[in-house]
């Protein structure tokens, strides 16, 4: 934005950048637009770091790119041959990485501009279950049912690092991209220093293994202070990122299909939003654990993806449909 003397625009920009996300504003969120681009379940989505675009992958092998500012679907690409899951923007303009659902378990690096693959990352021999891009550079992590975790660099098809783990790993980078966390066996989280991960974890947090609560994903809060563990059950766990001490358990949303229901933080780390198999978005206060509200976006199926825009005051949620949410009241 140009440095004009327009204070009103500046104020609006501050507001949109998540400066004033309080309970009343969260409760005021309503669906502003519904997109029906997909014929099957949307399995993953990711906002661009600038917040201007959203990309989604779905079981119908479609990749859809949305313009968040205009509230439009920008374009649709097909990945009929390999299928598509776990799609993420990279830091380069107009490129993304995704896992495959057909033929093999190679990770693919895609130019969205001309729908051409720039590079392949072979190595996993079973379904890739976790894929995350470094927040700061060209490295990314992948984990698979083959019980390995691999570290990659977009510039090389060769794996930069390989770790064997007990069971299916879930992993995530911290917001600074200096460390990554790996959840294994539904009972421990190991933290690794990216520069010396081959030396093993520098700390391990252990938890009680809940047999009926298999871990589905793991995320750091944007402020890096907490780690959220989502499961295939109906509880979400929040733990301290430095000591591993349990902070909150969020419950009350439904997961009667035993699917991965994504939960996400607001950009200020103060709220947690989760999908639910009843089609609602459940919201909790991250610090106190209390339930703020359940938002109805009229999703006909389980909401498996929900994320808050990193820069603007908007949220997106998806089942087969994609919904864009905006606040209807501004709290001063």
In a domain, 320, yes or no: yes
In a domain, 314, yes or no: yes
Q: How far apart are the first and last CA of the chain?
A: 23
Segments of the chain scoring below 70 in pLDDT: 1-19, 80-84, 256-258, 330-332
In a domain, 9, yes or no: no
In a domain, 332, yes or no: no
In a domain, 1, yes or no: no
pLDDT tens for 273-311 read 998 888 899 999 999 999 999 999 889 888 989 999 999
Number of neighbouring beta carbons within 10 Å of residue 203: 13
DSSP codes joined into one string, 185-245: TTTEEEEEEGGGGGG--SEEEE----TT--EEEEEE-TTSSEEEEEESSS-EEEEETTT--
pLDDT tens for 93-102 read 799 877 777 7
Q: Which range marks the domain in which residue 204 is found?
A: 20-327
CATH code where residue 302 lies:
2.130.10.10
Q: Domain count for the chain, please give it.
A: 1
In a domain, 272, yes or no: yes
In a domain, 12, yes or no: no
Give the pTM. 0.88
């Amino acid at each position: 934005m140009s440095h004009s003397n327009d204070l009103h625009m500046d104020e609006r920009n501050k507001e949109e950048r998540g400066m004033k996300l309080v309970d009343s504003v969260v409760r005021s969120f309503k669906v502003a637009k519904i997109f029906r681009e997909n014929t099957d379940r949307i399995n993953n989505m990711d906002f661009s770091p600038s917040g201007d675009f959203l990309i989604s992958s779905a079981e119908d092998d479609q990749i859809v790119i949305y313009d968040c500012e205009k509230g439009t679907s920008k374009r649709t690409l097909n990945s009929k041959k390999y299928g598509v899951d776990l799609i993420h923007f990279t830091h380069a303009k107009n490129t993304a990485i995704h896992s495959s659902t057909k033929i093999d378990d190679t990770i693919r690096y895609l130019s969205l501009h001309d729908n051409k693959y720039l590079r392949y990352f072979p190595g996993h021999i079973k379904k890739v279950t976790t894929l995350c891009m470094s927040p700061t550079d060209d490295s990314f992590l992948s984990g698979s049912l083959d019980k390995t975790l691999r570290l990659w660099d977009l510039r090389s098809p060769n794996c930069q690092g390989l770790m064997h783990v007990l069971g299916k790993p879930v992993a995530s980078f911290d917001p600074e991209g200096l460390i990554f966390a790996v959840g294994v066996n539904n009972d421990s989280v190991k933290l690794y220093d990216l520069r010396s991960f081959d030396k093993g974890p520098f700390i391990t947090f252990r938890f009680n293994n809940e047999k009926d609560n298999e871990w589905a994903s793991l995320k750091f809060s944007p402020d890096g202070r907490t780690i959220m563990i989502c499961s295939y059950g109906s509880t979400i766990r929040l733990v301290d990122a430095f000591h591993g001490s349990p902070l909150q358990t969020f419950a009350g949303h439904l997961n009667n299909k035993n699917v991965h229901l994504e939960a996400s933080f607001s950009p200020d780390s103060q709220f947690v939003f989760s999908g639910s198999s009843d089609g609602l978005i459940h919201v909790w206060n991250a610090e106190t654990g209390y339930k703020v509200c359940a938002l109805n976006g009229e999703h006909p199926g389980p909401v498996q993806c929900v994320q808050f825009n990193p820069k603007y005051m908007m949220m997106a949620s998806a089942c087969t449909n994609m919904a864009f949410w905006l606040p209807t009241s501004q709290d001063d």
